Amino acid sequence: MTRLSVNINKIATLRNARGGNMPDVVKAAADCERFGAEGITVHPRPDERHIRYADVQPIKDAITVEFNIEGNPIPRFMDLVRSIKPAQVTLVPDAENVLTSNAGWDTLKNKDFLTEICSTLKQDGIRVSIFADPIPAMIEGAARCGCDRVELYTQAYAEGYRRDREAAIAPYINAARTARECGLGLNAGHDLNLENLAYFHENIPWTDEVSIGHALICDALYMGLENSIKAYLNALK
């Protein structure tokens, strides 16, 4: 079964826009679990424009489902995740000034760096996922770095879905098969939503986990958080 990990960054964005602690991101994480989420994801960035580094331990303490922390493995991030020890760390090559994640790793050029990071995290008992474009060579490169999973960057799929969903999913099926052949687990995320999620899952049913935040929180504005989470769970059935 494919698990739904809810990314709560956008809840923190709303809190930070006004200051104070409304909405409470720790309570939101616990509520997401109560409403059926099978994991919680956060992505603390250096500028702390949404999830703050100080949020991460209280969130972990408030949940019992899997905790996934995404980010670029700069020293401060590595100190954080090695202290928190979440179930999973997803390595994302974000520059400090990007609005949102916009590319996967070049696992060939960054092999030595990623190999060292993967080894360090796995010594702490943390599952490691590498954010990757749907390119077989990048998936094979990720496997050589020693990670446990890859997370397919699904923006291109989401953008192409309405034009030609068969063409949009094709490179992802190929990449997912490569991951399976390499013995890697498979995650997916970025711009997955209620329109395109079921088709992705139908074609790549061995996906271990999808991480969804922006679209799910946008839907929650109209549907409510509980109904939104249930709708995404239904899309994965």
* 178 annotated ligand-binding residue: no
Closest CA to 101 of 139, 135, 72: 72
43 a catalytic residue: yes
Exactly one of 33, 38, 43, 209 is catalytic; name it.
43
Strands (DSSP E) contained in the chain are 3-7, 39-42, 66-71, 88-91, 127-132, 149-153, 185-189, 209-212
Q: Out of 33, 38, 190, 201, which one is annotated catalytic?
A: 190
Catalytic residue among 38, 70, 151, 209: 70
Distances, alpha carbon 61 to alpha carbons 36, 56, 133, 236, in Å:
18, 9, 32, 27
Q: Is 201 annotated as a binding residue?
A: no
**Is residue 16 marked as binding?**
no
Half-sphere exposure of 167 (CA within 13 A, CB side): 5
In angstroms, the CA 128 to CA 89 distance is 5
> Is 201 annotated in the active site?
no
CA end-to-end span of the chain:
8
- Annotated ligand binding at 45? The verdict is yes
102 annotated to a ligand binding site? no
Positions annotated as catalytic residues are 43, 70, 190
Instruction: Point out the annotated binding site for 1-deoxy-D-xylulose 5-phosphate.
Output: 45, 50, 100
Instruction: Point out the annotated binding site.
Output: 7, 18, 45, 50, 100, 191, 213-214
Instruction: Point out the annotated binding site for 3-amino-2-oxopropyl phosphate.
Output: 7, 18, 191, 213-214
